[in-house]
């Protein structure tokens, strides 16, 4: 399990997240939300060991993450960034890269690695893209392939930075279902989402960031009822009735509104 203890991190000596204490338990989907620039990506990168903390600590199974060799850490933590330069190689080859932490040098894929990669592509609905060059795929298709690579890595904790970007609503819901299956397999899934409805519907726990601080943390409905969401985003939130679970409507605040506590 990844734990953050009073974590501060930033760029060029300037803190962008401060004093963050949180844990990402296995079998839970944690969603990070917050206004633009509030530090969500910075937090995710620091928690995954991709950005050195300025102070505080990231613990992996109770030990400092920095004490783990890179290969061992990669068996424990997968990270899907917001965007990257598309790879000029077939999707199935890219997904196999998720198996690197389990291979010795020189790298030779075993039949089980190929089977894991095939199943990961199947899980994200990208099996038919297996032989296509990643660079030739649409944004949404690429996203599914990169997610398959993260799944093939078979890490205990999976960090996903805005994984629904480029996906249409059908594929967004499929991705959330895929994240749901990962948590059922006992993974800790941690993702940044902008779509508050997706976040509130699927998260077990929501972490709300504002100006680099963790300003609220709890179950989705608590975030709404406490007014934390309204305050952070400056919007009105209303629960709507829907047959497929809680759903919310959002509107801007009137200038003289007293809606927000
Ligand atoms: P969010 O993901 O919530 O939109 P980020 O973590 O990306 O926020 O950014 C938090 C702050 O850090 C922003 O002010 C952003 O401009 C700044 N920032 C992000 N990446 C860098 C970087 N590589 N160098 C300098 N500042 C950065």
pLDDT for position 110: 93
Ligand 1 mean position, distance from CA 259 (Å): 30
Residues 125, 74, 78, 143, CA torsion sign: negative
Predicted pLDDT at 243: 87
Cβ atoms 61, 1 nearer than 8 A: yes
Q: Would the pTM count as exceeding 0.75?
A: yes
Q: Decide: 142 in ligand 1 pocket, CB within 6 A.
A: no
Question: CB-side exposure of 221: number of CA atoms within 13 Å?
Answer: 4
Output the pLDDT for position 261. Answer: 47
Strand order in the sheet with 55-60: 14-24, 2-11, 55-60, 63-64
Atom 19 in ligand 1: residue holding the nearest Cα: 42
What is the whole-number distance in angstroms between the Cα of residue 39 and the centre of ligand 1? Answer: 6
Q: Are 78 and 158 in contact (CB under 8 A)?
A: yes
The CA distance from 136 to 91, in Å, is 10
Residue 43, Cβ density class (10 Å: 0-12 exposed, 13-18 middle, ≥19 buried): buried
Q: Is the CB of 17 under 6 A from ligand 1?
A: no
Residue with tokens 């928690």: 47
Instruction: Tell me, in angstroms, the distance from the centre of ligand 1 to residue 100's CA.
Output: 29
Report DSSP state, residue 68.
Answer: S
- For the record, the structure tokens of 243 come out as 């047959």
Cβ atoms of residues 163 and 191 within 8 Å? yes
Q: In this structure, what DSSP letter does residue 155 have?
A: -
β-strand partners of 216 = 208
Which run of H or of E encompasses 81?
A: none
Q: What is the pLDDT along the chain (261 residues), one digit of tens a residue?
A: 999 999 999 999 899 999 999 999 999 999 999 999 999 999 999 999 999 999 999 999 999 999 999 999 999 999 999 888 878 899 999 999 999 999 988 889 999 999 999 999 999 999 999 999 999 999 889 999 999 999 999 999 999 999 998 889 988 998 999 999 999 999 999 999 999 999 999 999 999 999 999 999 999 999 999 999 999 999 999 988 888 888 899 998 866 555 554
Q: Kindly report the backbone phi and psi dihedral angles of residue 78, in degrees, each rounded to the nearest multiple of 5, phi listed first.
A: -115, 145
Which of 7, 37, 45, 193 maximizes ligand 1 atoms within 8 Å of its Cβ, making it the mutation to test the pocket? 37
Residue 261: C-alpha distances to residues 25, 162, 232, 236 (Å): 31, 29, 12, 11
What's the maximum distance between 2 C-alpha atoms anywhere in the chain?
66
Which pairing describes strands 188-192 and 29-33: parallel, antiparallel, or unpaired? parallel
Q: Which atom of ligand 1 is nearest to the CA of 36?
A: 4
């Amino acid at each position: 399990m990844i734990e953050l203890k009073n974590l501060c991190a930033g760029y060029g000596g300037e803190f962008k997240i401060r004093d963050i204490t949180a844990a990402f338990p296995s079998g839970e989907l944690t969603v990070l939300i917050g206004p633009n620039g509030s530090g969500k990506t910075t937090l995710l990168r620091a928690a995954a060991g991709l950005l050195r903390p300025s102070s505080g600590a990231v613990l992996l199974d109770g030990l400092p993450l920095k004490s783990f060799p890179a290969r061992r850490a990669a068996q424990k933590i997968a990270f899907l960034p917001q965007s990257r330069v598309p790879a000029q190689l077939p999707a199935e080859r890219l997904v196999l890269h998720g198996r690197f932490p389990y291979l010795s040098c020189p790298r030779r894929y075993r039949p089980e690695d190929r089977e894991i990669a095939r199943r990961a592509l199947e899980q994200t609905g990208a099996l038919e893209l297996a032989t296509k060059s990643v660079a030739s795929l649409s944004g949404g298709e690429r996203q599914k392939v990169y997610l398959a690579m993260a799944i093939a890595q078979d890490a205990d904790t999976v960090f996903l930075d805005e994984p629904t970007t480029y996906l249409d609503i059908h594929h967004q819901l499929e991705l959330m279902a895929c994240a749901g299956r990962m948590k059922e397999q006992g993974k800790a899934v941690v993702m940044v989402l902008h779509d508050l409805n997706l976040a509130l519907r699927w998260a077990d726990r929501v972490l709300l960031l504002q100006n680099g601080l963790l300003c609220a943390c709890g179950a989705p409905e608590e975030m709404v009822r406490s007014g934390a969401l309204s305050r952070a985003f400056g919007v009105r939130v209303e629960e709507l009735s829907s047959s497929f679970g809680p759903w919310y409507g959002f509107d801007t605040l009137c200038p003289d509104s007293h809606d927000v506590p």
